[in-house]
């Protein structure tokens, strides 16, 4: 019954690596903003020009709350991808091998071709009206 696993775990690892890199880039870029904004405090009279104080407050909130929270979600997603693909591959192989012992109970017509997994190759995508492609 097993027609092969349709997703390449190595490809998913590469995607996850890219996602972890994006998380690090998010931190690095935000850290540049935090470091550069440090010079703003005291550079003008923040009592007379409240915009500087608001910028510093926003930078602090993003640097201390939003970016770490976003990074957590981003990295959780990357980890989920890796674990889900590995688990799905193991389950697919297990179910396929276990089903083989019951396959004779479910006879198939010789007139109908065997089912097959779709190709993950984007070149084999089915065109959709409007110009979009959907991989089958």
User: What ranges do the domains of the chain cover?
Assistant: 9-115
φ and ψ of 117, to 5 deg: -70, 145
Instruction: Residue 35: name the closest of 61, 63, 57 by CA.
Output: 63
Residue corresponding to tokens 């870029």: 29
Question: Any idea which of 7-11, 79-83, 117-121 has the lowest mean pLDDT?
Answer: 117-121
Q: What is the mean pLDDT of residues 62-66?
A: 89
Give the model's confidence band at 135: pLDDT under 50 very low, under 70 low, under 90 confident, else very high: very low
Angle at 21 between CA 88 and CA 27, to 5 degrees: 125
pTM to 2 decimal places: 0.58
Neighbours of 13 (CB within 10 A): 15
pLDDT on residue 2 = 45
Q: Each residue of 99-132: pLDDT tens digit?
A: 888 888 888 888 887 777 666 665 565 555 565 5
């Amino acid at each position: 019954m097993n027609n092969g696993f349709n997703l390449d775990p190595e490809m998913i690892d590469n995607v996850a690596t890219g996602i972890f890199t994006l998380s690090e880039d998010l931190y690095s870029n935000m850290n540049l903003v935090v470091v550069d904004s440090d010079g703003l405090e005291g550079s003008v009279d923040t009592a007379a020009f409240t915009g500087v104080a608001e910028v510093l407050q926003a930078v602090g909130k993003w640097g201390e709350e939003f970016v770490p929270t976003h990074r957590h979600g981003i990295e959780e997603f990357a980890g989920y991808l890796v674990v889900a693909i590995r688990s799905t591959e193991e389950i697919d192989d297990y179910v396929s091998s276990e089903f083989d012992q019951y396959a004779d109970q479910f006879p198939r017509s010789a007139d109908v071709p065997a089912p097959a997994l779709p190709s993950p190759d984007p070149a084999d995508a089915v065109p959709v009206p409007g110009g979009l492609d959907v991989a089958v």
